[in-house]
């Protein structure tokens, strides 16, 4: 079926052809035709053709205009959606401080709904949050500034506010609000971390430096020399562990941290990990038990060495952050199509405000640092990466001063 558009053009073409033939006939046989014939074969068809051409073009023209209008409408809608979905908060106001536009991210950052502030001046808006006031403070000669405050959980938040002259003629300004809390927090943690790491490296290195020369001293007794050698070995072990953790993190970030794929005996890995810490927990009167809820543990395909790192990390943390005489439960169970390993302690727990950052690189909770000055803040970051690379999940539940349960799941091999 041809479209109406194409048919109209065919009809117009046919009429024009008809008119042209008639003109030719009138020219060849002049005087043989009456006026009526002229009108019927020439004027009327010509008139019809012209009307059709006009109608066709006006239809084309109007449909083109409506297509353009549709496109414009779509463009406006799209722009609105882009503005609404931006990660930055946007607020437009005029010279008098009247709010003319606000996107949903700005509503979220400010904790105010658009209906409470739209078309109102700053003075008319009640209970303004500090971030809102910061939007209207002088920018001086700069176009951006930072504003920090604590949220209701006491968490430090930092926003960058960028001042853009939207229209000089209308006196309208755009304020772009960017949440840089995480960036700030990580930078702070990074510099704190570098200081801590330098000390961590310096302590064992100094230990080695001061004890090694005594080994050459003939006046030093053999028993003391033996003690020094043991200390040197312990210090080098600490240095090796620290360096290998740093190396692991770098490899993970570069994507060169490789994994083997083998059928592993998770039960054995856990049993050994628990056994290896028997002396440590006994010294601190901590009870650690390994519970299996099933007798036949299903096979899991994973990299045994990497999984051992994760299993050890949960147990080491549980021991580190549990007070003397505490209790630790290590459990291996099947949950749906996964095998689940969890370590539950009744230790210091994790404060609510620190929970979101627990798997971040270098993160250590203040209370954990106070209890255990040593620690890299890399263990859980490495753990999360390893488990997710194996198609599993990591998580925890924790209550401050009550304890924590860290767990991971791995898919069971069919």
| Nearest residue (beta carbon) to ligand ADP | 379
| Site for ligand ADP contains 99 (CB under 6 A) | no
Contacting ligand ADP (CB under 6 A), which of 321, 341, 407, 408?
321
Rounded to 5°, angle at Cα 225 from 220 and 230? 160
User: Which helix (H) or strand (E) is 126 found in, with range?
Assistant: none
- The count of chain residues that interact with ligand ADP, using the rule CB under 6 A, is 23
Cβ at position 381, least distance to ligand ADP in Å: 6
Please give the Cα distance from 236 to 248 (Å, whole number): 18
Q: How far is the CB of 171 from ligand ADP (least distance, A)?
A: 51
Q: Least distance to ligand ADP from the beta carbon of 196, Å?
A: 10
CA-closest candidate to residue 319, choices 273, 362, 280: 280
Half-sphere exposure in the Cβ direction for 259 (13 Å, CA): 21
187 in Cβ contact with 161 (< 8 Å):
no
Cβ(118)–Cβ(102) under 8 Å?
yes
Q: Based on CB atoms, which residue is closest to ligand ADP, 342 or 404?
A: 404
Q: Which residues pair with 399 in a beta bridge?
A: 403
357 near ligand ADP, rule: CB under 6 A: no
93 touches 99 (CB < 8 A): yes
Nearer to ligand ADP, 375 or 392 (CB): 375
Give the residue, chosen from 49, 350, 386, 410, that forms a contact with ligand ADP under the rule CB under 6 A: 350
Query: How many Å apart are CA 351 and CA 402, to the nearest integer?
Result: 10
Q: Measured between alpha carbons, how far is residue 213 from residues 199, 202, 207, 269, 367 in Å?
A: 22, 17, 11, 40, 38
Nearer to ligand ADP, 302 or 368 (CB): 368
DSSP letter, residue 295? S
Q: Is 196 in the site for ligand ADP (CB under 6 A)?
A: no
Segment contacting ligand ADP (CB under 6 A): 8-16, 86-94, 331-339, 362-370? Answer: 362-370
C-beta of 89 vs 349, nearer to ligand ADP:
349
The residue within the footprint of ligand ADP, chosen from 380, 387, 394, 410 (CB under 6 A), is: 380
- To the nearest whole angstrom, how small is the minimum distance from the Cβ of residue 286 to ligand ADP? 12
Question: Binding of ligand ADP at residue 318 (CB under 6 A)?
Answer: yes
User: Is residue 131 close enough to count as binding ligand ADP by CB under 6 A?
Assistant: no
Give the CA dihedral 393, 397, 400, 403, nearest 10 degrees: -100
- 347 counts as binding ligand ADP under rule CB under 6 A: yes
Window contacting ligand ADP (CB under 6 A); options: 227-235, 249-257, 270-278, 363-371: 363-371
| C-beta neighbour count of 379 within 10 angstroms | 20
Burial class of 125 by CB neighbour count within 10 A (0 to 12, 13 to 18, 19+)? middle
Rule CB under 6 A: choose which of 274, 288, 365, 407 binds ligand ADP: 365
Question: Does residue 312 touch ligand ADP according to CB under 6 A?
Answer: no
Closest Cα partner for 98 from 118, 116, 113? 118
- 3-state DSSP percent of the chain in helix, strand and coil, to 5: 55, 20, 25
Q: Among 189, 358, 386, 394, which residue interacts with ligand ADP (rule: CB under 6 A)?
A: 358
Nearer to ligand ADP, 117 or 273 (CB): 273
Asked whether the beta carbons of 351 and 370 are under 8 A apart, the reply is: no
Determine, following the binding rule CB under 6 A, whether residue 317 of this chain makes contact with ligand ADP: yes
- Site stretch for ligand ADP (CB under 6 A), options 142-150, 201-209, 253-261, 316-324: 316-324
Listed ranges 29-37, 74-82, 136-144, 377-385: which one lies at the site for ligand ADP (CB under 6 A)? 377-385
| Binding interface with ligand ADP (CB under 6 A) | 313, 317-318, 321, 345, 347-350, 358, 363-365, 368, 375-381, 404, 406
């Amino acid at each position: 079926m041809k479209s109406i558009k194409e048919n109209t053009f065919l009809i117009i073409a046919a009429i024009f052809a008809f008119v042209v033939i008639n003109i030719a006939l009138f020219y060849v046989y002049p005087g043989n035709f009456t006026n009526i014939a002229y009108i019927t074969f020439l004027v009327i068809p010509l008139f019809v053709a012209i009307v059709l051409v006009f109608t066709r073009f006006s239809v084309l023209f109007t449909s083109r205009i409506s297509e353009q209008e549709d496109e414009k409408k779509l463009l406006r809608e799209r722009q609105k959606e882009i503005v609404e979905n931006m990660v930055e908060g946007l607020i437009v106001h005029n010279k008098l401080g009247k709010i003319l536009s606000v996107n949903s991210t700005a509503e979220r950052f400010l904790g105010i709904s658009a209906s409470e502030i739209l078309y109102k001046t700053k003075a008319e808006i009640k209970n303004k949050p500090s971030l809102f006031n910061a939007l209207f403070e002088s920018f001086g000669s700069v176009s951006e500034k930072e504003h920090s405050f604590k949220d209701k959980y006491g968490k430090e938040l930092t926003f960058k506010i960028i001042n853009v002259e939207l229209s000089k003629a209308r006196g309208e300004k755009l304020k772009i609000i960017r949440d840089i809390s995480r960036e700030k927090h990580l930078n702070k943690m990074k510099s704190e971390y570098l200081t801590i790491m330098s000390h961590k490296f310096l302590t064992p290195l100094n230990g080695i430096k001061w004890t090694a020369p005594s080994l050459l001293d003939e006046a030093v007794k053999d028993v003391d020399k033996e003690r020094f050698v043991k200390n040197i070995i312990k210090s080098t072990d600490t240095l090796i562990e620290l360096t290998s953790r740093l190396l692991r993190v770098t490899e993970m970030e570069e994507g060169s941290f490789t994994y083997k794929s083998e059928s592993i005996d998770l039960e054995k890995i856990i049993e050994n990990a628990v056994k290896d810490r028997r002396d440590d927990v006994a010294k601190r009167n901590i009870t650690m038990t390994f519970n299996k809820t099933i007798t036949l543990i299903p096979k899991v395909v994973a990299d045994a060495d990497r999984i051992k790192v994760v299993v050890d990390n949960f147990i080491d943390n549980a021991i580190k952050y549990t007070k003397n005489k505490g209790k630790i439960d290590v459990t291996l169970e099947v949950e749906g199509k996964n095998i689940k390993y969890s370590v539950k302690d009744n230790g210091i727990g994790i404060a609510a405000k620190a929970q979101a950052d627990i798997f971040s690189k270098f993160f250590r909770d203040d209370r954990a640092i106070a209890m255990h000055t040593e620690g890299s803040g890399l263990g859980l970051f490495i753990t999360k990466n390893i488990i997710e690379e194996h198609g599993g999940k990591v998580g925890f539940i924790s209550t401050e001063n009550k304890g924590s349960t860290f767990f991971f799941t791995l898919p069971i091999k069919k």
